[in-house]
């Protein structure tokens, strides 16, 4: 049965405007349709993709130190609730009284909230269906509780520093004075390891990147020949970030929602930035965003950092 996909008008605008721009680009948030979320999940289990495993190890090994620094019985507010494996880990560590997942997808929120409640009978779960990059209200149930923001996975790295700073300030406004923020940030490291993490030998990241074309074709009546684009991960030394691109391997023309586009061989669609922060840069970013770093936990190789900061 052919399904009539619901199309998010913001997706339509981002794709049509993004591909018509002088440097064609589509924001990384559009990777995460059902298939894209599954593929991302597969990425987190790849040997080449070190961040997920490393961050979880850091949180697991430092659970009691983290709890001592954050305090127990607080309200834990997760921006972009999603990490089905990281959330229980941090909840077991810091034993919050309330868990407030913020996510744009209500279905996803309800599923994960039900599962968490089943596993943590004493925990109050108060989900908020919202775009965490925009203004929203915290539930009144957490009035009077200490607030701890949680932003794991180095998701902050997907935002250019200017937007990352704005977002950190936005988190501060939402959580209020005296709040804490526990944030994961991926470190700068050898370029070969960085590139391998975003261009794994199994080709899962390539499939994740190319799934964007599949989504555009399906949801926006696109005629993009998917085999005309190849996955590429580049290190941008000046800006300290991995970039993912879809590179045209031949001259190609297609339509999206009736609008014509052409790409010459070698031209790219820029689909993601993943900024990496050294020790001082990570702290500077937090400070610029209105947060004072107070604690930092890393792995032995210093591949990844979990930082606690105070508003
Ligand atoms: C979930 C945004 C942190 O940038 O490393 C993984 C997404 N992209 N492989 C990242 C991603 C390609 C990931 N974040």
Per residue in 209-262, pLDDT (tens digit) is: 999 999 999 999 999 999 999 999 999 999 999 999 999 999 999 999 999 999
% residues pLDDT > 90 (the chain) = 86
Q: Check residue 186 and give its pLDDT.
A: 98
Considering only CA atoms, which of 119, 36, 123 is closest in space to residue 78?
123
Considering only CA atoms, which of 153, 152, 146, 131 is closest in space to residue 76?
146
Calculate how far, in angstroms, residue 198's C-alpha sits from the geometric centre of ligand 1.
8
Per residue in 196-209, pLDDT (tens digit) is: 999 999 999 999 99
Going by alpha carbons, the residue nearest to atom 10 of ligand 1 is 274
SS3 of residue 166 by DSSP: helix
Residue 251's CB is within 10 A of a number of other CB atoms, namely 12
Ligand 1 site residues (CB inside 6 A) read 43, 51, 153-155, 157-158, 198, 205, 272, 274
Calculate how far, in angstroms, residue 263's C-alpha sits from the geometric centre of ligand 1.
26
Q: Check residue 29 and give its pLDDT.
A: 92
Q: Check residue 4 and give its pLDDT.
A: 53
Per residue in 48-87, pLDDT (tens digit) is: 999 999 999 999 999 999 999 999 999 999 998 766 678 9
Chain centre to alpha carbon of residue 38: 14
Going by alpha carbons, the residue nearest to atom 4 of ligand 1 is 274
Atom of ligand 1 nearest to the CA of 208: 12
Per residue in 152-166, pLDDT (tens digit) is: 999 999 999 999 999
Compute the half-sphere exposure of residue 132: CA atoms within 13 Å on the CB side of its CA.
Answer: 27
The verdict on pTM exceeding 0.90 is: yes
Q: Check residue 83 and give its pLDDT.
A: 62
Please report which confidence band the pLDDT of residue 117 belongs to, taking 50, 70 and 90 as the band edges: confident
Going by alpha carbons, the residue nearest to atom 5 of ligand 1 is 274
Q: Are 274 and 157 in contact (CB under 8 A)?
A: yes
- Mean pLDDT, the chain, rounded, equals 94
Q: Check residue 107 and give its pLDDT.
A: 77
Atom of ligand 1 nearest to the CA of 209: 12
């Amino acid at each position: 049965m052919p399904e009539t996909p619901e199309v998010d008008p913001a997706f339509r605008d981002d794709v049509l405007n993004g591909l018509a721009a002088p440097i064609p680009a589509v924001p990384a948030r559009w990777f995460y349709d059902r298939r894209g979320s599954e593929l991302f999940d597969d990425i987190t289990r790849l040997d080449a993709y070190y961040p997920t495993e490393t961050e979880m190890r850091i949180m697991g090994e430092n659970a009691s130190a983290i709890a001592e620094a954050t305090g127990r019985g607080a309200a834990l507010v997760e921006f972009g609730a999603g990490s089905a494996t990281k959330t229980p880990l941090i909840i077991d560590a810091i034993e919050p009284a309330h868990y407030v997942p913020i996510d744009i997808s209500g279905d996803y929120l309800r599923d994960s909230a039900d599962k968490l409640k089943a596993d943590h009978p004493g925990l109050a779960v108060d989900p908020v269906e919202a775009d965490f990059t925009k203004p929203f209200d915290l539930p009144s149930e957490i009035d009077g509780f200490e607030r701890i923001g949680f932003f794991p996975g180095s998701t902050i790295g997907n935002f250019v520093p200017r937007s990352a700073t704005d977002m950190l300030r936005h988190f501060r406004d939402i959580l209020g004075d005296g709040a804490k923020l526990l944030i994961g940030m991926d470190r700068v490291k050898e370029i070969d390891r960085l590139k391998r993490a975003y261009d794994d030998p199994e080709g899962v990241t390539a499939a994740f990147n190319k799934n964007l074309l599949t989504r555009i074709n399906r949801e926006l009546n696109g005629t993009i020949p998917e085999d005309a684009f190849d996955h590429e991960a580049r290190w941008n030394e000046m800006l300290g970030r991995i970039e993912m691109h879809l590179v045209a391997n031949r001259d190609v023309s297609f339509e999206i929602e009736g609008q014509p586009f052409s790409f010459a061989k070698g031209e790219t669609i820029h689909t993601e930035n993943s900024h990496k922060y050294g020790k001082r840069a990570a702290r500077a970013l937090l400070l610029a965003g209105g947060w004072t770093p107070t604690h930092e936990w890393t792995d032995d190789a210093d591949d990844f950092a979990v930082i606690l900061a105070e508003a």
